[in-house]
Structure 1
Amino acid sequence: MEIRYDPMIRAPVAVAVTIMMILFSVTDFIGFKLVLGTFFGVEPLFAIIIMAASVAAYVSIGGFRAVVWTDLLQYILLAGLAIYVAILALGLTAQKGVSLLSASLVLGADWWNLFVMGGLMGALVFQLALLPGWVAEQDPWQKIWAARDERSEKRGLLLGAGLLALVYFCCLITAIGLSVLYPRPGGEVEAEMLYLKVISDNVAPWLLALLTIGFAAASMSCTDTFATSGASCISRDLIQRHLWPTATMKEMLITNRILVIVMIAISASIALNVNSIMDAVIIATVIGTTSYFFPIIGGLYWRRATKWGALSALIAGGGTQILLISYELFWHKQPLDTISPLLTEHGVLAGLSLSALFFAGVSLLTPPTEDIRLAPFFPDIAEKVFGRGIPAVDRRSLRYQEVMERIEEKMAGDRAHLHLFIDFLPVRADGALMPEEMKWDLFVEKIKKMHTLWFTPTGSHIVYRLSQADMLACVKMVRGDTSQIWLSAEPRREQRERQKDEIFLAYEEIEDALLEFGMTPVIRA
């Protein structure tokens, strides 16, 4: 969002996402302690310690790659669990001679009435609240940016949304079946416990152990993702962006792993004192959905969207949603749909409507976004901004050959991953070493003034050489260590040679800027 709109968007979004990630992680700890407590009588404190220690260990050691691979395995177990329990509930109702249709009719005549905000319509609103919120959340987009190519990105996002909808649908079927098997629960905690009760009452001990693994997998899968996403928001969007802009990549890696453990510890502490899962999930999701769903999706497809429209949508949508939830919890002390059916699920429709209205209205009333920010998202504007091509380079020169030999290249899908590591040494004209350390911010400003293609849409810690609309393919410069510069690019397979030329040009421009500080670059072997 910062690239599309303006740096001022970054901090409020980071705070909102971090709060959401903590709330989501809390629900997973609650689920894990309820499962172990219900099935095996494990004390809540010990259950939470087991989960916190396990997740902290494999995330800290394996990093984001460990999160992605464990998520894949754990989601398979989660989906299998949801499908099995739905089939179990339907089978038990069938044994009583009650079909799914009959079971849903038992819920009341209003169940099938699409004009009544309850029953089937309530389930649809629930999907409306959760699925857009999931699409706009930090954690799936973090995986999208880490995907090996665009095809994997699109397939992963669509598959994730589809499988998430499948789990929600299975939970809906299970709830209908449980309405026949048990008396209607008096609250959300009692309703959540029925899910565990139908399993413990009807499953053999050996299968119960396998299902417990499924529950554990689901809890850990979500918690590791939420912890890494929340830690990333704090480390990259707040600490590195505002508090420690000169931090190196190695320093930020250490900081991020410490923050992952802190996020897990905070969530675990809250979970010891909270027992309701579903309400925390819905509250976290509707806040996210009403805050930044329209700024994110609208910014990708509507070029007239502006930073002021996005900011007003964040404030109006998210602020209204927080006020509605606060009123419901602390003053009204009962669901808002007792006031009006349109306020079901904490009034998410009101928050979404205001967010959309402010996003569109304020965007149309404020000046359009500059082309340099639109170019990475809209091909026709990119052609206008970047259509001049790149200067020719002499590929036969010894200097060019030396740089090419040091570029590390790996293929992943339809993308090449190119890396060049540069050390910079402070020297005088006579070759004597100078002890002074180069100021990174001053260097970034210097190279931007000397060569206009260098751009910092997300702060001085990441500098892009914007020569085309595909920002993954553009050369990116970061500070690897106190005396290192790391260059990287992820061009499409057919663009590899062009981007190697771009890296060579970037190296020469970096050399020009370093000379202004009395330093010289040395390519690492």
Structure 2
Amino acid sequence: MFYLTSAVLGAALLCFAFLGLHARRADGPLDDYVTARNSQSAATLGLSFLASGMGAWILFAPPEIGAFVGPVALAGYAIGSALPFIVLGLYGPAIRRQLPEGRSIGEFAEACYGTGVRRWVALVSVLYMACFLAAELTAIGAITALLSEVPPALVVIGVAATTLLYTAIGGLRASLATDRWQAWLLIALLLIVGGVALVRLPEMPVGAALPSIPVDGALGVALTLVIAVTAANLFHQGYWQRVWAARDERALHRGAWLGGATTVAVVALVGGLGMLAAMSGLTLGEPPMPFFALLGEAPGWLALPALVLAVTLVASSVDTLQNGIASLVVAGSGRRGLSIGAARLVSVALMVPVVIVALQGLSVLRLFLIADLLCAAIVVPVLLGLWRRMTPLAAMAGGMAGLLGAILPGWVAQGSLAAGVLAASFPGSIPTLPPFLGALAASTLVSLAVASAAPHERARPL
């Protein structure tokens, strides 16, 4: 079984590499390497948004939310996962018109507010995507250890090296090309694995009910997830690249809605499997993993397609993140003449520390929550950049107020600054609503107040 599993996983990765390398433009300029400008249809963008947004996290988080918190919180997770695409679908056309030669969220921030805000935004974006990368590679290592005898480090390095090969050589076009096939493959595999697992599900006990917590608690979790996931993913440079990759504004709008709708469906489906596992009385494990508890009742051969599903999910998100980080660094260099060779070198260099962290098998959930909160503190000031009254001072003041707002609920509730900071760092890795609400409300109110009080002339008109 070891050799069969290794051969199947190797074949899947080789297919992804072939598709990515086949799509490259050998003589394309750096701009095409990082944006594939004005080249992608709505269908391609929709599938790409789905594939790049999915990752091994969908096999862990949505089933656990469904199993322990219930359908209301799961709906919040699904909406939060899709909302960044919808926001970019609505905002994207205006961003394209105002910044037709743009390449990144950092350049958008610079056009709105100047170099200082660009560096701040770019730093948050890179930190968030690095956490995402480490989490995905860590997850595939854990899933490999759970479902096969293949050494986890071998798969972690294999996925990282293969995706790095075709993204470093082919750039964004390579990522977009593999996304199309990976999206269809992950849907097919998810239906096969989920369908077979459901057929072997134990009979529901008499009186089985949907998992749930009190409505106010479920709504609080749902709102927390919507804010956290949406704010963080709006700093995902891979999604911003697709704003300029779209063939035109209509393709961007339709592709974003297609990606959002399919993302909601996939997250709801996987989360629903977690609810069914809990309702059937299965032992969910410690730590609980409802999706993999279902596989425990399924035929042994199902572990192989489940592992291919996990590799597909990880590869589809990792290649987007790799290219996104490299493009953000390239766009932030301030040198339009930077060579493609240098961009490729950036891709390789940035993966080394990420792979080292992933091989440690650490939990990154708490880091993810902190990164989400950082993003929530500055997302509104950044998006308000399209408002002509906004100024660099208003954006910076709003961002600083957002950080203070994240600490304030715990500070007020427990009476000390240290307690507020601790609460905003999510001890126990449990997402709580007050820090996110505080960050969002404070950053919005202060940004609007400072911008409204400023003279009508804008310092740096977009």
Whether these two folds match at TM > 0.5 is: yes
* Amino acid in structure 1 at the alignment position of 2:209: S
- For residues 291 and 171 of structure 2, the distance between their equivalents in structure 1, rounded to whole angstroms, comes to 33
Q: Is residue 102 of structure 1 aligned with residue 226 of structure 2?
A: no
- For residues 459 and 370 of structure 2, the distance between their equivalents in structure 1, rounded to whole angstroms, comes to 37
Query: Matched residue of 1:2: which SS?
Result: helix
- For residues 83 and 322 of structure 1, the distance between their equivalents in structure 2, rounded to whole angstroms, comes to 43
CA deviations 1:20-48 (Å, max 9, x no partner) are 11000011101211221111122232221
Q: 1:277 to 1:8 in 2, by over 3 A?
A: closer
- For residues 381 and 241 of structure 2, the distance between their equivalents in structure 1, rounded to whole angstroms, comes to 17
Q: Is the 8 A contact 1:231 1:259 kept in 2?
A: yes
What is residue 31 of structure 1 aligned with on the other side? Answer: 139
- Unaligned regions of 5+ residues in structure 1, if any? 375-525
- For residues 407 and 315 of structure 2, the distance between their equivalents in structure 1, rounded to whole angstroms, comes to 28
* Amino acid in structure 2 at the alignment position of 1:211: A
What is residue 45 of structure 1 aligned with on the other side? Answer: 153
> If you compute each CA radius of gyration, which structure gives the higher value, 1 or 2?
1
- For residues 188 and 407 of structure 2, the distance between their equivalents in structure 1, rounded to whole angstroms, comes to 35
**Percent of counterpart pairs with the same letter?**
23
Query: Matched residue of 2:247: which SS?
Result: coil
Q: 1:368 to 1:264 in 2, by over 3 A?
A: farther
Q: How far off is 1:329 after superposition? A: 8.5
Q: Is residue 363 of structure 1 aligned with residue 451 of structure 2?
A: yes
Q: CA RMSD in A?
A: 3.2
> Equivalent of 1:219, from 311, 314, 328?
314
> Equivalent of 2:344, from 257, 275, 289?
257
What is residue 259 of structure 2 aligned with on the other side? Answer: 160
Higher relative contact order (CA 8 A, sep 6+): 2
What is residue 349 of structure 1 aligned with on the other side? Answer: 437
- For residues 289 and 83 of structure 1, the distance between their equivalents in structure 2, rounded to whole angstroms, comes to 34
- For residues 265 and 55 of structure 1, the distance between their equivalents in structure 2, rounded to whole angstroms, comes to 13
CA deviations 1:335-368 (Å, max 9, x no partner) are 677xxx643xxx3222222221222122222234
TM-score when scaled to structure 1?
0.58
Q: 1:125 to 1:328 in 2, by over 3 A?
A: closer
Q: 1:56 to 1:3 in 2, by over 3 A?
A: same
Q: Is the 8 A contact 1:81 1:215 kept in 2?
A: no
Q: Is residue 198 of structure 1 aligned with residue 294 of structure 2?
A: yes
Q: Number of residue pairs matched?
A: 343
Q: How far off is 1:262 after superposition? A: 1.8
- For residues 194 and 27 of structure 1, the distance between their equivalents in structure 2, rounded to whole angstroms, comes to 19
CA deviations 1:144-198 (Å, max 9, x no partner) are 1122211111122222233333333234323322323334666xxx13x442332
* Amino acid in structure 1 at the alignment position of 2:138: I
- For residues 35 and 172 of structure 1, the distance between their equivalents in structure 2, rounded to whole angstroms, comes to 18
What is residue 60 of structure 2 aligned with on the other side? Answer: none
Q: State how 1:121-136 maps to structure 2 within 5 Å.
A: 121-136=220-235
- For residues 362 and 121 of structure 1, the distance between their equivalents in structure 2, rounded to whole angstroms, comes to 30
Q: How far off is 1:65 after superposition? A: 0.4
Q: 1:98 to 1:222 in 2, by over 3 A?
A: farther
Q: How far off is 1:90 after superposition? A: 6.2
Q: 1:214 to 1:156 in 2, by over 3 A?
A: same
Q: State how 1:300-319 maps to structure 2 within 5 Å.
A: 300=386, 302-318=387-403
What is residue 126 of structure 2 aligned with on the other side? Answer: 18
Whose helix proportion is higher, 1 or 2?
2
Q: Is the 8 A contact 2:198 2:294 kept in 1?
A: no
- Unaligned regions of 5+ residues in structure 2, if any? 1-108, 411-419
What is residue 6 of structure 1 aligned with on the other side? Answer: 114
- For residues 275 and 290 of structure 1, the distance between their equivalents in structure 2, rounded to whole angstroms, comes to 26
- For residues 281 and 151 of structure 1, the distance between their equivalents in structure 2, rounded to whole angstroms, comes to 33
Query: Matched residue of 1:103: which SS?
Result: coil
* Amino acid in structure 1 at the alignment position of 2:376: T
What is residue 304 of structure 2 aligned with on the other side? Answer: 209
- For residues 279 and 201 of structure 1, the distance between their equivalents in structure 2, rounded to whole angstroms, comes to 31
